[in-house]
Amino acid sequence: MAEKSSSGNKFTHTSLIIIATVAVLFVLKVSKDVAVPLVFSFLCFLLFSPLLRRMDKLHIPAFISVTFVMVLLLLIFILAGWFIVMTVDSLIRLVPFYADKVVSLDRLLSAKLSAFIDLPDGTSFLAVLPVNWSSLAISSLTSISNKFFAFTKVALLVYIFFLFLLLERQSIIPKVLASAPKRGMQVAVMFERITRQISKYLLLKAVISAFTGLFFFLTAILTGLDLPVLWGVLAFIFNFIPSVGSIIVTSMTILMALIQFAPVWSTVMWVALLTISTQMILGNIIDPRLQGGQLNLSPFVILASLSVWGFLWGIPGMFIAVPLTSVLQILCANIKSLRAVAILISSGKSYQRENARQQVIDRYLRKQERRRKSGLEVEEPPVEAEDEAIYRGDFILPENFGEKR
Output the CA torsion 380→385→387→391 (10° steps): -40
Annotate 146-210 with DSSP letters as a single string. HTHHHHHHHHHHHHHHHHHHHHTGGGHHHHHHHH-TTTHHHHHHHHHHHHHHHHHHHHHHHHHHH
Alpha carbon separation from 268 to 100, 139, 224, 247 (Å, rounded): 18, 28, 11, 17
Alpha carbon separation from 278 to 217, 273, 362 (Å, rounded): 11, 9, 43
Alpha carbon separation from 275 to 219, 236, 280, 319 (Å, rounded): 7, 13, 9, 21
Q: Is the separation of the CB atoms in 101 and 260 below 8 Å?
A: yes
Q: Is the separation of the CB atoms in 371 and 365 below 8 Å?
A: no
- pTM (2 decimals)? 0.71
Give residue limits of the domains in the chain: 8-167, 181-294, 296-405
Residue-level pLDDT, tens digit, the chain, 405 residues: 555 555 666 677 777 878 888 888 888 888 888 888 888 898 888 888 888 888 888 888 888 888 999 999 999 888 888 887 787 777 777 777 777 777 777 677 666 666 666 655 655 555 555 555 556 556 666 666 566 677 788 889 999 999 988 888 777 767 766 666 666 677 777 777 777 777 777 888 888 989 999 999 999 999 988 888 889 998 998 888 877 888 889 998 998 888 888 778 888 899 999 999 998 888 777 877 766 555 667 778 888 888 888 888 888 888 888 888 877 877 777 777 777 777 777 766 655 666 677 777 777 677 777 767 776 665 555 544 444 433 344 444 433 333 443
Which residues are CB-contacts of 185 (< 8 A; sequence separation ≥ 6)? 177
Output the CA torsion 220→226→229→230 (10° steps): -110
User: What is the Cα–Cα distance from 252 to 255, expressed in whole angstroms?
Assistant: 5
Q: Is the separation of the CB atoms in 216 and 244 below 8 Å?
A: no
Q: Is the separation of the CB atoms in 124 and 107 below 8 Å?
A: yes
N-terminal to C-terminal alpha carbon distance within the chain: 48
Check the CA dihedral 146-149-154-155 and report its sign: positive
The residue among 199, 201, 153, 190 whose CA lies nearest residue 45 is 199
User: What is the Cα–Cα distance from 250 to 252, expressed in whole angstroms?
Assistant: 5
Annotate 69-85 with DSSP letters as a single string. HHHHHHHHHHHHHHHHH
